[in-house]
Each structure stands twice: as structure tokens, then as C-alpha cells.
Amino acid sequence: MNIVFFGDSICNGQGIAIHKGWVTRLSQTLSDLGEQCGKSVLVTNSSVNGRTTRQALESMPYEVQTHHPEIVIIQLGLNDCNMWESDHGNPRVSPLAFEANLLEIITRCRTFDAKTIFLNTNHPTGRDQKLCAHSVVTYEIQNRIYNNIIRKVAQVAGPDVRLNDIEAAFLQATAGIRASLLPFVMADLLHLSEQGHDFYYKVVEPSVSATVKSLLSVQVPRLFKVGHAA
């Protein structure tokens, strides 16, 4: 079984040791599941820091399609929603384009054998200042708007698309209080701390592991040989 993580710096674990990232830890868990049932599980992390959905589509032929993955976990949006001064307040990828890009990514995953596609919303950030001089909104407001688009796509895309609502889990854990969020993010108020990676793992692992078990048709080991008394 081939599994691909397709995302940005939140999947790469920017700023922490590689073995402490949530994707690395989850990869080990999924590989162990394969060994338990005598089957191979190959996990690939095809993620790039700073990536938008527009850039992701350009790189899909090599980074996703060549693997023919049965499962794809998509973590994108934090770069799409950002606004740069040089763009005069336009997001790097507009909301309409972001939605269309996610739908095309899903379609391409399906045509290259994906059985289940996970869409992850993004965690809340502490960035509550205006994005740039041309902007009237904060980064966190933009993040919430794009998270709602992810939820919409997951709802309409089909039964093979499943939502891991990271934002909702974080809001529940922190009660929506900014000070309670701070241990989960780094000093830049965006990238995940070790505690943030731990939380991502706890939220995402159950649904992905359950899907892997289902696709591998894990069976309960026999306690005795056929033809012998119990």
C-alpha cells in the first residue's frame, strides 16, 4: 500500500527535529500496521515549505501520481490565504481558485488509484494583525475563511473524501483563547511547536489508521491451527 502526505511546512515540520514531526510519527504508526498484517505500507511525504494549491497542482505528476497512492492526506491552505505587500492585498490564491484547486487535486488523486483522500483544515494561528498595508483583514481571519472552504469541499467532493477538522479540535482544546494556543505554536505564531505536532498526531492518527486497517483487511490472528482442538 502506498500512502502520500501532500502538504506544506506543517507536514514538513519546519523548525523542529524531523523525528518529532506529526507526519514522521504517523508514518511509523502506519508502517507498523502493515507489518502486523504481513503487508508492505510505503509512506511518502511529498510536502514543500511555502507551497500553495496552485504550486501543488504543478508538482502532482511527480510527487503524487507516480506513486499511485491508495491514500492521500492533503494539508494545504496556510500559504494560499496569505497576502503579500507586493500583491497589494490580493491573497496568493483567491478563495474561488483555492476551492477549484482542491477539487482538481482530488480528481487527480482518484484517477491515480486513490481510494481515500483526507482533507485537513489548518490550526488556528496567533497572527491577529493586518496582513499588509493594503489589507483590511488579519491572517487568522483569512485562515478561517479558507478552512471553511476546505470543509465545503470535503462535504461535496464525495464519500471517498474525509475531513480531519484540525481547527475545530484546536478550538475545543484551547477554548478559543489565544493564550492557550501559544504552547502549540512557535514564536512566529504560525508553525507548530513539538506540542503542536503531538496534538496533530492525536487528532489525525485515529481516522487514518482506521482507514489503513480497513484497506489492508486486517484480521484477528488465529489462536490455533485449523483442524486442531481449541
In this predicted model, what pLDDT tens digit does every residue of 130-184 receive, in sequence order? 887 888 899 999 999 999 999 999 999 999 999 999 999 999 999 989 899 999 9
- What distance in Å separates the CA atoms of residue 149 and residue 13, rounded to the nearest whole number? 24
Place of cell 499588509: 132
- State how far the Cα of 121 lies from the Cα of 144, in Å rounded to an integer: 9
Q: Pick from 15, 95, 99: which is nearest to 49 by CA?
A: 15
Which residue ranges form the domains of the chain, and what is each CATH number? 2-216 (3.40.50.1110)
Which of residues 133 and 97 earns the better pLDDT score?
97
Hey, what's the cell of 122? 489548518
pTM of whole model > 0.85?
A: yes
Beta bridge partners of 118: 73, 162
